[in-house]
């Protein structure tokens, strides 16, 4: 099983600041099978990025994704009020599909 | 807009069977390249992939649940379902159904969940 490790667990930042979220896979995966999801309290997760760096429909340009192999990053260039949420990375390269444990972005 | 809606009992007794159905709207469950998935989230925890099913009936299950899990698809009703037997309190969770879009291209292909249901809370308790 590929273990996805996200860091940090919690990111406390102010509006307008840059957020950098890390996701590390326990073995190399194709970036085509790495996606990011945003989840707000009481809501289902929402697709944010796929293929590691492609923004889903409706994802603002302030979100960007990068990485390859085992290390992937989600960056929010300037935090907006609606960005405070939990973010999960996910791999579908090897079964069983797995998620990271999530990074909570909270208001400082 | 594709919509998915979970349905099923919100309360299940320990040792019994948890049964959920996902109804898909505005998309055909028989579309090629779409796998229909179940994902759960225990209270206050992260996301756990349960398994998926293709319209042909082909399934993939999480090994941690495989002994207790059965998925099925009903193309005539545009629905897919899961049954989890011998449940315990550890199976208490919000259960989501989702569409897993899988594609092939010159780079080899990829996959991701593009649409999710709103989720349904299932509590295992006597």
CA-to-CA dists, residue B12 to A37, B17, B49, B92, B93, angstroms? 29, 7, 21, 9, 11
Mean pLDDT by 10 residues, chain B (126 residues): 97 98 97 95 97 96 97 97 98 98 80 96 98
Taking only the tens place, the pLDDT of each residue in A57-90 is 999 999 999 999 999 999 999 999 999 999 999 9
Q: Which residues of B touch A99 (CB under 8 A)?
A: 46-49
- In this prediction, residue B78 carries a pLDDT of 97
Pairwise CB contact (< 8 Å): B46 & A35: no
User: From CA A21, how far away is CA A19, in angstroms rounded?
Assistant: 6
Does B5 contact chain A (CB < 8 Å)? no
Peptide bond connecting A8 to the previous residue in cis, omega within 30 degrees of 0? yes
- In this prediction, residue B107 carries a pLDDT of 72
Q: CA B37 from chain center: how many Å?
A: 4
User: Closest by alpha carbon to B124, among B96, B95, B84, B90?
Assistant: B90
pLDDT confidence of A1, banded at 50, 70, 90?
very high
Pairwise CB contact (< 8 Å): B48 & A99: yes
Q: Which residues of A touch B35 (CB under 8 A)?
A: none
- In this prediction, residue B104 carries a pLDDT of 80
- In this prediction, residue B126 carries a pLDDT of 96
Distance from the Cα of A98 to chain B's closest Cα (Å) equals 6
How buried is residue B80: exposed, middle or buried, by Cβ count under 10 Å (0-12/13-18/19+)? buried
Contact between A17 and A107 under an 8 Å Cβ cutoff? The reply is no
H helix and E strand count, chain B: 0, 11
| Tokens, residue B68 | 């207790």
User: From CA B92, how far away is CA B87, in angstroms rounded?
Assistant: 9
> Which residues fall within 8 angstroms of residue B75, CB to CB, at 6 or more apart?
B29, B30, B55
Closest in B96, B111, B114 to A92, CB measured: B111
User: From CA A26, how far away is CA A94, in angstroms rounded?
Assistant: 11
3-state secondary structure of B111: strand
């Amino acid at each position: 099983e590929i273990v996805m490790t996200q860091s940090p667990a919690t990111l406390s930042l102010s509006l307008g600041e840059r957020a950098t979220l890390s996701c590390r896979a326990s073995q190399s995966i194709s970036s085509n099978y790495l996606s990011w999801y945003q989840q707000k309290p009481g809501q289902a997760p929402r697709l944010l990025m796929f293929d590691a760096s492609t923004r889903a429909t409706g994802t603002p340009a302030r979100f960007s994704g990068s990485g390859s192999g085992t290390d992937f990053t989600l960056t929010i260039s300037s935090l907006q009020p609606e960005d405070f949420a939990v973010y999960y990375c996910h791999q579908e390269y090897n079964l069983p599909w797995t998620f990271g444990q999530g990074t909570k972005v909270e208001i400082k | 807009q594709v919509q998915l809606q979970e349905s099923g009992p919100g309360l299940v007794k320990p040792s019994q069977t948890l049964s959920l159905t996902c109804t898909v709207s505005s998309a055909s469950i028989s579309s090629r390249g779409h796998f229909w998935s179940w994902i759960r989230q225990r209270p206050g925890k992260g996301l756990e992939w349960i398994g998926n099913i293709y319209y042909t009936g082909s399934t993939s299950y999480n090994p941690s649940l495989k002994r207790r899990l059965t998925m099925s698809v009903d193309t005539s009703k545009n629905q897919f379902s899961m049954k989890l037997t011998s449940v315990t309190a550890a199976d208490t969770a919000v259960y989501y159904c989702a569409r897993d879009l899988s594609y092939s291209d010159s780079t080899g292909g990829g996959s991701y969940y593009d649409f999710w249901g709103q989720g349904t809370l299932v509590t295992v308790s006597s």
